[in-house]
Structure 1
């Protein structure tokens, strides 16, 4: 009987795959770690880039620093403001690298609210400035991209 008990103990031992990691398993884990690290680095770079673009677009001190500037008075919780922002960006695609700066005065921030008060305008408004920071035109309400493109072209021609 003692021999049968010894055999049963051997059959209950741990499987060979759990005893020691194989080279293949280590390489799989290392590959997964590299992929995860690459994904995290990419997300970090995208996040920094997005933040920089957001900060530049909301830097209202850029009004009057040379190029023609369009400032949207914007409430981020307003669907009409968001629609105007989408239409404005679509209209500005025709003006790539043509010396038009697009900025956003977010009325939920102290700077954006002060900017809107200074020009006495509500949200859902675009303010068109010349290169010296002088206000030339105010566009209120939701407009289509084609209409805005015409307004931007006329403004650029008038102040050039």
Structure 2
């Protein structure tokens, strides 16, 4: 038995012991920097999500029509690629405008207020309705359009109400 114990003791002495790596100040600073970067990404994403949600709610408030500012209302189906393309082109045309811009509103036909609005107006989706400052419909633009086609119509709407 003495021999077995002696051999085990020798093996224990030869076996490397696991030593936890020493954490340096440099390692801690690196982890702190990565944590700060991650926090910035999460905070930026959250701010974008809140901003996007607020814009979406504001754009769907159809009660803003006729409250002293001309309006462009898109009758929109979010699942329709043509509607989404028209929305992109409308936003580009509005951003290209110099001076005042009309309100841009969305009548989402997948939600009750938007569907009721489209039915009352008697129009299908992929349609832009232009309203003067008093809320009177002055023009209907059906189908897909480019920003170059939309910009003159929007400018004319603002001139007529200026």
TM-score normalised to structure 2 length = 0.85
Consecutive unaligned residues in structure 2, runs of 5 or more: none
- Of 41, 46, 51, the residue aligned with 1:44 is 46
2:23 matches 1:9: no
Q: Tell me, in whole angstroms, the C-alpha distance in 2 between the residues paired with 1:108 and 1:60.
A: 15
Q: Tell me, in whole angstroms, the C-alpha distance in 2 between the residues paired with 1:103 and 1:130.
A: 13
Consecutive unaligned residues in structure 1, runs of 5 or more: none
The structure with the larger Rg is 2
- Of 66, 75, 78, the residue aligned with 1:76 is 78
RMSD over equivalenced CA pairs, Å: 2.1
> CA 1:24 to 1:8, structure 2 compared with 1: closer, same or farther past 3 Å?
farther
Superposed displacement of residue 157, structure 1: 2.0
- Of 153, 156, 159, the residue aligned with 1:154 is 156
2:141 matches 1:142: no
Number of residue pairs matched by the alignment: 158
SS at structure 1 position matched to 2:73: strand
Superposed displacement of residue 97, structure 1: 4.6
SS at structure 2 position matched to 1:55: helix
TM-score normalised to structure 1 length = 0.86
1:30-71 deviation digits (Å, cap 9, x = unpaired):
332222122111111111111111111222121112211000
